[in-house]
Structure formats: structure tokens, C-alpha cells
Structure 1
């Protein structure tokens, strides 16, 4: 919110008008800035299950996130990225992990996930 007000004030100073009239757009701009800041990790969107079975699962982690999967059984797509989302062109790293607790380290923070045998992933908090 603070960033949005700063942007709105700059807009009003540069182009004239009231600060309130710039706030709606500045809020959108501030959200993009905060969302794209280095180190900003959304834990709920960090791990995606692609395939599962026999107490193992294939998970995907966005390639632009410098992450280390601790209890990885195998790196399927070696940190050479693979486009899994064809429409958006987003790149991912694919790992084979046990369907149990998976730990992913990003910027020194360990995120814990529970991968179930039916292919669901649940964020279990920060270790």
C-alpha cells in the first residue's frame, strides 16, 4: 500500500490532478513490483505435481527460482529447463521425489511440502 501511494504521488506531481485519481493504477503497478522483487517466493505456487504413483512423484519447480530439492531421488530434467506450460512458455526443472515430505530450499529458507499418493501437494510451512 505504501508503494502504491508513493507511485500515485509521483504521478500526480508529474502529470497534475489529485493523488486519489492515480491510486487505482498505482496499486496495480505496486503489486507487479512487489510480486517480481528478487526473493519473492509464493510457497503455494512453488511446487507442482506432474505425475505420481508407487510412492513417488514428479514435481516441477519454476526454473527462474534458485531452488534446491533436498530429498530428490532423481533430477529428471537436469536443471536444463523444460517448457511445461506451452501457452505461457514458463520454464521448469523436473524432479523425482518420494510421496511424503519434500523440502525445497530457496534463498536459505526451507519450505516443506506433503506430496500425497493421489498426486496432491500441500504446503506444510517453513522449517
Structure 2
């Protein structure tokens, strides 16, 4: 819940910069967007945003056997697999992997066994297909 509220404030502040006005004018719609992001990304390999700024986004995936993250353009070439840091989620006790990528325009292919998903990051907004 805390992540949803924090993300809603980020969205509202970005709207103020882009369109002008006050943060509270955008907050209700920003909360809808943040909640939608949280619900739509919760089942994507345990995806969670760990941090974000203007140029980089850090996200966490649950560590699973056979999990690989590649740039979408390289056809799963192991040479270009994204590097990550390993850790443990303090709330769940599960092993996690922390990835950092640019927020401008990034397409990633997440592969785990037979399951494959494409993750699109454009101007800090993450979508899955």
C-alpha cells in the first residue's frame, strides 16, 4: 500500500511539472493509475518497482530457477543478459534479483522456462505484454 501511495505522489508531481497546477488536483487520478500499475504487475515474475528517478528504474523480480532477463532486440544471447544483484525480501523471505535499467525507452524479454513476457519501459511507465 505504501508503494502505491508513493507512486501516486510521483505521478501527480510529474503531472504538475508537465501540465501545471497543484499536486492535489492530480492526486485522485494518479492514485487510480498507481493502483492499476500495482495490480497489473503483481503477477509478472513477482515484479515490484524498487526505485526510480528521471533516468533509471530499479525493479525486483523473484529469483526463480531458469529466470533470464534480456534486451528484447538480442534474441536471448547470453552475452547480453542483464546483470543483477541478489538479495532476500525481508517481508516474504523469498530470494530476489534487483535489476537497474534506463527509463527512457527500454524493451526487455523476461524468460523463465516456457513462460516469456515482454516488459516495456517508456518515460518511466512500465507495461507488460
Query: TM-score normalized by structure 1?
Result: 0.48
More helix by share: 2
Q: Which has the higher strand share?
A: 1
TM-score, with length taken from structure 2: 0.47
Structure number with bigger Rg? 1
